[in-house]
Amino acid sequence: MTHPSYPIIRLKPNAEARAIRHGFPWVYANELVTDRRTKALASGALAILEDTNRAPMGVVTLNTKSKIIARILDRDPEAKIDAAWFEAKLRRALDHRERLYDTPFYRLVHAEADGLPGIVIDRFGDVAVIQPNAAWAEELFDTLSAALIKVTGVTTVVKNGTGRARSLEGLTEELVVMTGEIDAPIPVPMNGATYMADILGGQKTGLFFDQRPNHAFTQQLSKGAKVLDMFSHVGGFSLAALAGGATSALAVDSSAGALELARQGAVASGFEDKFTTRKGDAFDVLAALAEEGETFDVVVCDPPAFAPSKKSLEAGLRAYERIARLAATLVKPGGYLVVCSCSHAADLQKFRNSSARGIGRAGRRMQLVSTNFAGPDHPLLPHLAESGYLKALTFRLDV
């Protein structure tokens, strides 16, 4: 049986039907029969996917404008994608996060890994930020938002329709407070510090929850340490380090707005006397600090994605190597260098090799003491490499 109100679309004979049956969540444009009837379906339309033998494989969402032409929503071909369906998905996601965290600050939905393809939801207490990065999420946004309010009790919902993923889906950009109101940055308690999340004016949804366990690990290394936090955004690593007993922390970012939020976070955390900021290009600041003879016990580099796609991979790997080389010169003997990558195109081995090559080119010996990833509120779908984008490597130098 299949859902009677959804049209049927069909895989081509060369499609990876077995991979889809085993959990791969996407169908690429060259794998689907795109006849006139299929092409006429609106972006975000729901449909039943069949294999070449006309056996139903589940309910999917269709977007003929995207290379990812179909995304699996439910393996049950009789499923109805309605308010109750969204509520069940959100309750399952919420149950996991409430087991992890004592406070309502986390990533609530991590797209395909939580069974909601193309949808990201970050929660900041009574405020939730939804990123509808796929056409179906745009079409069903009101149903999703109502289900979110019902399940979590949030009072403010922000639609953050910005970013590269939406352009790939043929969607326009917008940032709108849909329900409730926001009139100031939101204080977020995490790892013993307070961070200021600018929901409407900051990067992404205002804060990077994915680095929480990596902040905590670096915090362990920072007792009595002088810390440098490059690409600091709102002070992610530096404020955590100060909460762990660092004697001082310097936060460097190219955004004056982000540094002001970091400063506010330091004040709110009671660390303002140990916290300083420096605005500038990271590569220039690293070189300048070396010329000034500065050294640090812990240096962290958490840059934006240098390799956001396969096309940019080689240039991105060179950038990771360069940043590791420049940063390594600032680490005291026996000190630590933390380098991070949020580029899914650069897998762990390539990123590790580039970082180690840069450290070696700086004339430093090293040991890799930790390899970490995103926190457990960012679950990984094993079939989908893109869901495991974040890598954090901690090296100890000259030991």
DSSP calls for 334-399: EEEEEEEE--TTS-HHHHHHHHHHHHHHTT--EEEEEEE---TTS---TT-GGG---EEEEEEE--
Angle made by CA atoms 388, 391, 395, in degrees to the nearest 5: 160
- Mean pLDDT of the region 236-250: 98
Residues 240 and 370 reside in one and the same domain: yes
Residue of 93, 250, 342, 346 marked catalytic: 342
Using an 8 Å Cβ cutoff, are 301 and 339 in contact? yes
Residue 185 lies in a domain: no
Domain boundary at 74, 93, 116, which?
Answer: 74
Structure confidence at residue 3 as a pLDDT band (50, 70, 90):
low
Average pLDDT in the chain: 95
The pLDDT value given to residue 2? 59
| Whether pLDDT at 325 is above 90 | yes
pLDDT value of position 299:
98
In a domain, 2, yes or no: no
For residues 119 and 234, state if they share a domain. no
pTM higher than 0.75: yes
The string of pLDDT tens digits covering residues 200-233 is 987 788 899 999 999 999 999 999 999 999 999 9
Assess if residue 1 is contained within a domain.
Answer: no
CATH code for the domain of 139: 3.30.750.80
153 and 238: one domain? Answer: no
Specify whether 357 is located in the same domain as 237.
yes
Q: Which domain holds residue 68?
A: 8-74
Same domain, 236 and 274: yes
Q: Are residues 172 and 293 in the same domain?
A: no
User: Are 242 and 212 in contact, with CB atoms under 8 Å apart?
Assistant: no
What are the phi and psi torsion angles at 78 (to 5°)? -95, 0
Based on the fold, state whether residues 251 and 390 are members of the same structural domain.
yes
Domain count, the chain: 3
pLDDT at 391 over 70: yes
CA 33 vs CA 16, 51, 342: distances in Å:
13, 10, 34
Mean pLDDT, range 91-105, rounded to an integer: 98
Clarify whether residues 324 and 299 are in a common domain.
yes
Q: 107 with 69, same domain?
A: no
**Of the residues 18, 45, 74, the one at which a domain ends:** 74
Residue 284: give its domain's CATH number: 3.40.50.150
Same domain, 70 and 88: no
Provide the pLDDT for residue 14: 81
Q: What is the per-residue pLDDT for 4?
A: 64
Task: Judge whether 340 counts as a catalytic residue.
Answer: no
Average pLDDT over residues 259-267: 98
Q: What tokens were used for 42?
A: 């609106």
Q: Answer with the residue of higher pLDDT: 386 or 183.
A: 183
Mean pLDDT, to the nearest integer, of 316-333?
98
Return the closest-CA partner of residue 349 out of 365, 368, 335: 368
Give dist(CA 330, CA 63) in Å, integer.
49
The two beta strands, 186-190 and 56-62, are unpaired
> Domain with 41 in it: what CATH number?
2.30.130.10
Confidence band, pLDDT 50/70/90 cuts, at residue 153: very high
Check pLDDT > 60 for residue 1. no
Whether pLDDT at 77 is above 90: yes
Kind of pairing between the strands at 68-74 and 56-62: antiparallel
Question: Of 179, 203, 226, which one is at a domain's C-terminal end?
Answer: 179
Q: What is the pLDDT of residue 385?
A: 75
Please tell me the predicted confidence (pLDDT) of residue 322.
98
Instruction: Indicate if 282 and 359 belong to the same structural domain.
Output: yes
Contact (Cβ atoms closer than 8 angstroms) between residue 228 and residue 276: no
